[in-house]
Chain A
């Protein structure tokens, strides 16, 4: 089995995995980090979004061996010290969470956007979140939540 080194939420994991193990299954089944959700398992819904070297990816479409040498961030790594990330605060405050199944992936996609572009337009937010399905909220409060974080930054 191939050996891999992955920095997961700031902790280095050196282990060997089957070549066909997806990053999603590695995160959930091997590391027990179930905050990353398994939705469609085919790269459509975005529930399994994680940050691979800071970029949002569907972890169900990536093999663990492809992430060798990379750093991966999941929702569990998002807390800033003891506090919540401003996006987590905003999603809670603005009612952007109903069933919450899309939330971890949605928040990580939003984080990747804001890390790269702290002041995105509505259109840029829509583009960045277009790969994350939400069936509960109708997206209105998700958009509001992300925008509220931008306005706080200003």
Chain B
């Protein structure tokens, strides 16, 4: 009997049981005997020179065990991409929330009391909060960067001026997107334990522990081998706990090393909003040339983004904004100029989609405007220009699998696009769509390589362990990995145990970002499982006196293919193999490096950065209340080409969660600052969607195996919220005839726009 494949099955998350019963240990749950509690003193000034720090009173407070300032540290600059920050401020603070000093005490209250006793004398410096002002002549210099520019991007491919001349219409407009928080429910928290000889162990809910360890070793100025990071269960990440290590972690380490005791630091939500790394806002001026038949002739972008006080992952984020969405369509000519600029606000970072939602919002909105200008259905315009299989985009992305056009057609059919579009204006109902593209891993993020390694260990007792350094953060990576191992070794998924991520035991891995884990991590797991199978079969073959190639798995046994001979039990073979080898387990090793056709882009931002690209279409149906400006999303359709979906239950979960985050981005979320100070840094004033805000979401997977990913899988994690805002913006236009160009599209903005625009 043919064994039923576990690939493509709706298999429940393997860690759901411990989470449903309250047994799962998150970062916030880690507690050690004798553990101290740390608190960070943060700058109240957006920009100031530090003249003096006096910690004497704090040190004398009973219960205080350690106080640290920059003088207790090696003062080595670090950053995810550009080394421009210290874990504790040296000489200067650059935003409200910048870390100045820290205390570890017997309890949180004492620590809080102690940081209030630290005297800091500041000399306020001139401040600048908007990127445009920061670039102007005479603006205060935040670092040494000319015009405060962190990253400048400029490229032209094809001949843009000529492209615009060939167009029948040229449209140009400016779109602004907001700074939003990942709003994972578990705040940043860590516990660091020193061992007394200079080694430390750090427990935290991180997305990229090995990358985090590299940065931590740099900051502490110790070899990486002295640092062990143990990943706990992660209470949400969405990019916010990835490659940019918040200063909280090294500060906790400094306190632990100085006190000689375990120390815990937990961010408050006020600190989360003012001093963690949220999504880059962007102002994008976009110009599009289009022919009467719908063909795009040229596109030009001018991007201005606020980086905040430190670079963080900003340079790569703005690089994504400058290029990614362009590869959705066959643009013959493109030009782009982008500036990412330092200001005295909270530094930005990465959030699901990196810089991609920002450009999607402007481009997919302008495409609808252009379609109206030429009198064509925007569906037809998208179909006409959509990139296809085997094509190479203007930025060099190679489409080895691509079903964007099928997604467009499917989305239109499922949503009733043709029947509904343009019919609801009398009652304020509308429908809108937007396309999407994203990567499955990005070669440009880590300079040295992209790829992954996994071990599959068949133990002497017959149990199978999977060991990977890629991070489960709730998305279901470990479940997908277990499915892959179970599939290759012919065992039940319950028989695969995924070992916790620990930098002392797991293989080096880049971690969870750039939608890379299922595709690249999964590929390594597949190779490791195949390697283990080969070794197991090789041993079994000697016992059974057959060729290894003639063996197969059947019901927990290994037997000769097609034979009625029962063969040997899987567990028995594992045991005997171990006995024959001094107790060694069968160790399958799978190492995978992306093919050489996947490259770091050149200076003109040209290059095939990922082995596989995912596509899709979202369609939103909305109702707009003309009296209140309130938008209700009535229905939502999300159609995806993410290759073969290894687990549709988890896949739908990614889509539904992403769409709802996208609805928050589109309609309600924004961190608001006044003179650099966050004024809505709590969940009363910063609203995220609740169960009452969400529409029914229909997910469709247009499945075609990708030639590269494991069992044909491609990335799905981030793309799901990439086009949500423009789909809703386009639906609002269809409903009431006003074009919103600034996120979030709040009732106030909609009312203001309605006032200006007579009912059409």
Contacts and interface: CB of A to CB of B under 8 A. Distances in A.
Interface of A: 28, 33-42, 44-45, 47, 74-76, 78-79, 84, 88, 91-93, 95, 97-104, 107, 125-127, 129-143
A39 B22 contact: no
B25 interface: yes
Contact of A133 (B650, B653, B690): B690
B656 interface: yes
A127 B692 CA distance: 7
Given A136-B653, A140-B694, A39 B186 contact: yes
Interface in B230-272: 233-238, 268-269
The residue among B10, B13, B653, B697 with the most chain A CB atoms within 10 A of its own CB is B653
Given A98-B476, A136-B653, A139-B660, A103 B692 contact: no
Nearest to B25: A34
Contact of A99 (B21, B235, B268): B235
A107 B21 CA distance: 10
B19 A103 contact: yes
Given A84-B20, A97-B13, A97-B20, A138 B656 contact: yes
Nearest to B24: A100
A38 B185 CA distance: 9
B581 interface: no
Contact of B269 (A33, A41, A100): A41
B184 A135 contact: yes
Given A41-B268, A41-B269, A98 B13 contact: yes
B475 interface: yes
A74 B22 contact: yes
Contact of A88 (B20, B238, B684, B689): B20
Chain B binding surface, main DSSP class: loop
11 contacts: A40-B683, A78-B21, A79-B21, A88-B20, A97-B19, A134-B185, A137-B653, A137-B657, A139-B690, A140-B652, A141-B652
Given A126-B691, A139-B691, A37 B653 contact: no
Contact of B657 (A36, A79, A130, A136): A136
Interface of B: 10, 12-13, 15-17, 19-26, 28-29, 182-187, 233-238, 268-269, 473-476, 649-650, 652-653, 655-661, 682-684, 688-692, 694, 696-697
Given A74-B22, A98-B474, A139-B660, 16 more contacts: A35-B23, A39-B187, A92-B16, A95-B649, A97-B13, A98-B653, A99-B473, A100-B19, A100-B233, A100-B474, A102-B185, A103-B20, A135-B661, A139-B656, A139-B690, A140-B656
The residue among B13, B182, B234, B696 with the most chain A CB atoms within 10 A of its own CB is B13
Contacts of B236: 99, 101, 135-136
A53 to B, nearest CB: 20
A95 B689 CA distance: 19
B271 to A, nearest CB: 12
Nearest to A28: B29
A138 B235 contact: no
Given A42-B683, A137-B657, A100 B15 contact: yes
Contacts of B657: 98, 135-138
Given A101-B236, A133-B683, A139-B660, A95 B23 contact: no
Given A74-B22, A84-B21, A95 B650 contact: yes
